[in-house]
A and B are shown apart, each in its own frame.
Chain A
Amino acid sequence: METEALQTDMIADKCHAFLALRPQLPGERSRLVAVKDNICTVDFPTTCASKMLEDFRPPYDAVAVKRLRAAGLVVAGKTNMDEFAMGSTTETSYFGATRHPANPAYAPGGSSGGSAAAIAAGYVDMALGSDTGGSIRLPAAHCGVVGLKPTYGLVSRNGLVAYASSMDQIGPMGRTAADCARLLDAIAGPDEGDATSLAGPEAGRTEGFRADSESGRTEGVRTGLEDSGYLNNLYPSIAGMKIGIPADYLGSRLSPDVRDAMERVAAAMRRMGAETEQMTLGMAEYVAPVYYILACGEASSNLQRYDGVKYGYRCKAEDLEQMYRKTRSEGFGAEVKRRILLGSYVLSEGYYDAYYRRAMQLRSVISAAYQRAFAHYDMLLLPVAPEGPPKLGAFSHSACTFYDNDRYNAGANLAGIPSIAFFAGRTSEGLPVGLQLMGNHFQEQMLLDAVCALEDAGISERTI
């Protein structure tokens, strides 16, 4: 059985990609999917890499998990992540960092670092991650695998532990674009249990309401999108496409390795019949601040539920108020607390207008900038990070530098547009460098086709 030797390696899990592993794997490796530990599964704990949910066993599968099981795929295990998806290196995990499979001194990126590492280490060919401000694309790029953040609403968030509800998306990660297409086929499509899910401008969408009946929970039954056919429709060509390269995202911040990867990929795309053009996207310096204000505001609300009352960690306490305070003080790590504090502040009376409302307005301006770009270009090519994978511990003293790197990625979450990260080269230490292609809403097929075309042309390769 092809998975026997694999099981031994996975149990050893040298890079600490997994938090939980299925004791008996099915025979076929092609059926395995690693699932990020903020996605609910009935057969494994769902910890969000936090002490707060260390022993939490959800009584339900996330809709994405239900659907992949219905498609014949098997959850191989739950992968490590930054705590509650807050972080870019998988170092804020309560259970310890995941190490880069190619070099244990380096981080795999985050927050879906465990999922990316599991693919790069060769344990699985497919994984689910989640992306709120780059958390699929960054570890995909750093580990040299493919990672797609779908259009907001394409994949149901039902069962994804919420961080920032207006930006979160579950997305496929894979060794190749075809792996991502296969997984996206299984999970995409509207869900009556997620009022923000939709298939596209023409296809059916959920009404956003439910009928007033004692019918129990609205189930994640697949509606619309019968056979999305991303894999069947994979057409590896970018001939005739117009690719915009935003100059305001290039510049001196980029390391020579990333700059070199950008130039090589642009040249390859031209050889393949696409047109590339430098342009200005705009709003670059606002993306990270707007993202952090809005995401932290939403997170401070979404994480209010963790109070020790009904589930999760509960401290020892003398009275109710002490229970709330101590449970949250002891259950959350430092980065989570930092973001809850920031979020509470920007939503508070006296500061709401100056920060949150202003950021909401700027979000519309950022979205409009992308729409203007897509009026002229089919896709945008940009970096995922200014440098290759960081060393473990590199960002421990500089939260603001760390946060500012989200400028490359978070714009897609603010605008709700899809974006795919792919392998594009190596650093001088031999570690992977990835880039991303962004498209307009519901252009996932085009993005998958483009990465497939690049793979066929020899730009992408397995990294380890």
Chain B
Amino acid sequence: MSGGYIMDIGLEVHIELATKSKIFCGCSTRFGAAPNTQVCPVCLGMPGSLPVLNRQVVADAVLLLSLIHI
């Protein structure tokens, strides 16, 4: 029935994490604020600014990996 074909399915999944703050800075991720109010030098990429990784993002990624058994 398969006609000699082998199925190979990849799932590209994009997950928007429900963190309270952004991935690289402490700006809020709350929906609905006025534009350009939940920003800071880091997420604006201003000269000299440095990202600091959100711990929860790492925790969520580790959780996902453990669930899908990589």
Contact = CB atoms under 8 A, between A and B. Distances in A.
A396 interface: no
Interface residues of B, number: 26
A210 interface: yes
Considering residues B30, B48, B54, which has the most beta carbons from chain A within 10 angstroms of its beta carbon?
A: B48
A62 B50 CA distance: 11
Contacts of B41: 58-60, 217
Contacts of B52: 192-195, 208-210, 218
B45 to A, nearest CB: 4
B44 interface: yes
Interface string A160-173: 11100000000000
A212 B46 contact: no
A59 to B, nearest CB: 7
A19 interface: no
B47 A48 contact: yes
A193 to B, nearest CB: 6
Contacts of A305: 45, 47
Nearest to B60: A212
A194 B24 CA distance: 11
A5 interface: no
A351 B5 CA distance: 36
Contacts of B50: 157-158, 193-195
B9 to A, nearest CB: 27
B14 interface: no
A211 B20 CA distance: 10
Considering residues B19, B41, B47, which has the most beta carbons from chain A within 10 angstroms of its beta carbon?
A: B47
A310 B42 CA distance: 13
B47 A56 contact: yes
B27 A208 contact: no
Interface in A210-229: 210-218
A162 B49 CA distance: 8
Contacts of A151: none
Contacts of A217: 25-26, 40-42
Interface residues of A, number: 36
A17 interface: no
B30 to A, nearest CB: 8
B53 A210 contact: yes
A371 to B, nearest CB: 27
Interface in A301-340: 305, 310-312
B47 A214 contact: no
A214 B20 contact: yes
B26 A216 contact: yes
A157 B48 CA distance: 8
Contacts of B48: 39-40, 46, 58, 60, 62, 158-162
A215 B41 CA distance: 14
A215 B20 CA distance: 10
A218 B21 CA distance: 12
Nearest to B40: A217
A53 interface: yes
Given A59-B41, A208-B53, A213 B47 contact: no
Given A62-B48, A162-B48, A214 B54 contact: no
Interface in B16-36: 19-21, 25-28, 30
B58 interface: yes
A195 B50 CA distance: 8
Interface string A49-62: 00001001011101
10 contacts: A159-B48, A160-B48, A195-B51, A208-B53, A210-B26, A210-B55, A212-B57, A213-B26, A217-B41, A310-B44
Interface of A: 39-40, 46, 48, 53, 56, 58-60, 62, 157-162, 192-195, 207-218, 305, 310-312
Given A208-B53, A210-B52, A214-B20, 11 more contacts: A46-B48, A58-B47, A158-B50, A208-B52, A209-B58, A211-B56, A212-B21, A212-B54, A212-B55, A217-B25, A310-B44
